[in-house]
Structure 1
C-alpha cells in the first residue's frame, strides 16, 4: 500500500491507523531486516531495490493466500472452484466461448472469470497468479520467461467483407480489385500488421488514409456489416454462425503463431484450472474437425 500511495500519511488514513504507528511499523520492519526499504523523494516515499523485492514477494504471498481461501470456500460450499482466464481481444472469440460451454456442461458449479486485455496487461497478472491461464495467439517468449504453452489451433488469415459488399459474391478477384475500398486494420503493434503491409506492397497496393484500426473482432465484424470496408481475420472468427462474413478468394501466406493456452510453470494447477485446460483442448479438437468436414463453409 505504501508503494501505491507514496505517503505514510495516506497509508495511515486508508488503514485508519495513526501516523506514528505506521511510521513505527515501517521502522521496526527495516530494523529487523537491516535494510532500507523506502526512501523519501520530492515526489513522496519510493521503494528501494530491497523494498521492491519485498513488495513483489509479499504480493505473491497475498495472491496465494487469496487462492487458498477461495479453494477452501469452494470445497466447503460444494462448489467446483473458480478459474480466472485472460484472453486477447483479437484471437479468442470462438475457442474460449466453446471451452466455457464445455466447462459448464461438465461442472456447472465451476465458475469462470474472463479478463480481456493486451499482452502487456495479462502477462504480469499470469506471472503474479492473478489469472490462471491466458488463451489466445501465443506470443514468442523465451524458455527463461517462466511460462509454458500448448498450441491448440493453427489458423490462417483470410480477407473478409460484410455479406453486402460489392465484392462478396465474386468467385475470382485480383488484389487490384480491393484498391477502391477502405480497410479495418490491426494496430501497428500487432503481430500481423507489418507482414500484411508487405504482402499488399508486393501486390502494388498501399493503405489509403481511409481506414480504422482495432484489435476487437466484434468491432471489426460489426463495422464490416455496415460499410464497404475490407479486413483480415482468422478463419474461425470470419465464420461466426451468428454474424458470418464473406471470405474473398484471395490467398494469404501463413502469418500467425498458433492459438493456444499459456500458464505459469511455477504455480500448481487447481482442479478448476485442469478442467478448463481439458475443455480448451476438446473445444479446439471440435473446431479442427469442423474445419476438415466443412473447409469451404461460411457458417
Structure 2
C-alpha cells in the first residue's frame, strides 16, 4: 500500500467521479483506475461501487476512507513538523548557565524566544563550570553561557566571548567602610567576608590581599546562595566580592556600595562555550543568536 494510492482513493470518494478525481490528482483516468484496483487487491476488499452517475464507497470503503483521511492528515502534519524542526521554529534546546552568573540576560533571551518562536522549548540548567562542561561534552546540554575560568580552555571546547564581567567589592550603605574616602586592602583584612564558593573567586580574593602583602581575612564565609550573600552584606555588615551586574538593582537603590579600591575590580571575559566540531541544530542557533543580540545591546548589564 502506498500513500499515493490513499490519495487517489480519497479523491475518488470526495469527487464521486473518476474523471473529476483524475484531474484533481493530476493523472490519467486509466492510471487512476489501476491504482484503485491495486489498492483493493492489496486489501482484498472492494472499496467502490460503480453507479450510473459515478462511484460511491462500499461499507468497507466508508470505513477505509476514514482511516485513509486520518493517515494522509497525519502524514501532512508530520511533514510540517519536520520542516518546523529543520527550520528551528520548534524543538527542545538545553542551555547551561553559570551559577549566579547571567539570569538578567537569560530572562530577556527567554522572553524574546517565546515571543518570536512560541513553539520552541528551552530548558535552563544552572550550575558550576565543571558540572556544566561534563553535561556539554556528553550532549545533555547544547551550550553554556557563563564567565570563563582559566580551566575553560580545552581543545574540545569553543569559547565565544560576548561581554566582560566586572567583579567589585561590596558593602552596605551603613557599613563603616562606606564612609571612608580612601580604602586600602589593610582596611578589608579585618572585616567579615562572604564570597561565592568557587575556585576562581578564592583565587581573586587571594590576589587582592597577596598584592598588598596581607594574609587572607580570617573570617570568611563561603556559600553558593546569592540571596544569602546579599542579605549578609546588606544586614550583617559583611563585605563581599561579586559581579557588578548581579547587584545592579541594589546599587541603584543605594542599598549597597562599591568600595573604590585600585585592585578591587577584576574583569573576566564571559560568553558561550560550545563543543568543537559539533553541528548545531537550527533551534539551538535561534537561542544562541538571541543571547548574542542581548549581549551586544548591553541589556542586563549594570
- The TM-score with structure 1 as length reference comes to 0.62
**Residue 226 (1) aligns with residue 235 (2):** yes
Taking the aligned partners of 1:168 and 1:254, their CA distance within structure 2 comes to 16
Aligned counterpart in structure 2 of residue 200 of structure 1, from 195, 205, 209: 209
Deviations 1:193-217 (A, max 9, x none): 2242132133354334322112443
Note the C-alpha offset of 1:116.
1.4
- Aligned residue in 1 for 2:248: 239
Q: What SS does the corresponding residue of 1:130 show, helix, strand or coil?
A: coil
Superposed displacement of residue 142, structure 1:
4.5
- 5+ long unaligned stretches in structure 1: 1-70, 292-299
Q: How is 1:181-220 mapped onto 2 (pairs within 5 angstroms)?
A: 181-187=191-197, 189-220=198-229
Distance 2:85 2:299 in 1: 35
Does residue 282 (structure 1) correspond to residue 297 (structure 2)? The answer is: no
Pick the structure with more helix per residue: 2
CA-to-aligned-CA distance 1:11-58 (integer Å, 9 cap, x gap): xxxxxxxxxxxxxxxxxxxxxxxxxxxxxxxxxxxxxxxxxxxxxxxx
Alignment counterpart, residue 136 of structure 1, candidates 146, 150, 154: 146
Give the paired residue count. Answer: 218
**What is the CA distance between 1:255 and its match in structure 2?**
4.5
Aligned partners of 2:191 and 2:217 also within 8 Å: no
| 2:144 and 2:272 in contact (8 A); partners too | yes
Structure 1 contact 186–215 (Cα < 8 Å) conserved: yes
Residue in 2 aligned with 1:118? 128
C-alpha displacement at 1:253, in angstroms?
Answer: 6.5
Distance 1:174 1:119 in 2: 32
Aligned to 2:274: 263
| More strand per residue | 2
Shift in Å, 1:132: 0.8
Q: Deviations over 1:238-276 (max 9, x none)?
A: 323687631111133774541101112343222221111
Could you give the per-residue CA deviations for residues 74-110 of structure 1, whole angstroms, max 9, x where no partner exists?
759x963222111121422433233223323332332
The 1-side partners of 2:195 and 2:224 are apart by: 8
RMSD: 3.2
Give ranges in structure 2 of 5+ residues lacking alignment: 1-80
Contact 1:151–1:261 (CA under 8 A) maintained in structure 2: yes
Distance 1:132 1:205, change over 3 A: same
TM-score normalised over the length of structure 2: 0.62
CA distance in structure 2 between the partners assigned to 1:239 and 1:230 by the alignment: 16
The reply to whether residue 108 of structure 1 matches residue 114 of structure 2 is no
For residues 202 and 141 of structure 1, the distance between their equivalents in structure 2, rounded to whole angstroms, comes to 25
**Runs of 4+ in structure 1 over 6 Å off:** none
Q: Distance in 1 between matches of 2:83 and 2:221?
A: 47
Partners of 1:93 and 1:217 within 8 A in 2? no
Secondary structure at the aligned position of 2:178 is classed as: coil
What are the equivalent positions in structure 2 for 1:1-299 lying under 5 Å apart?
75=85, 80-139=90-149, 140-144=151-155, 146-187=156-197, 189-240=198-249, 245-252=256-263, 255-287=266-298
Measured after TM superposition, the shift of residue 290 of structure 1 is 6.2
Q: Cα–Cα, structure 1 residues 199 and 117, in superposed 2: closer, same or farther, change >3 Å?
A: same
SS at match of 1:102: helix
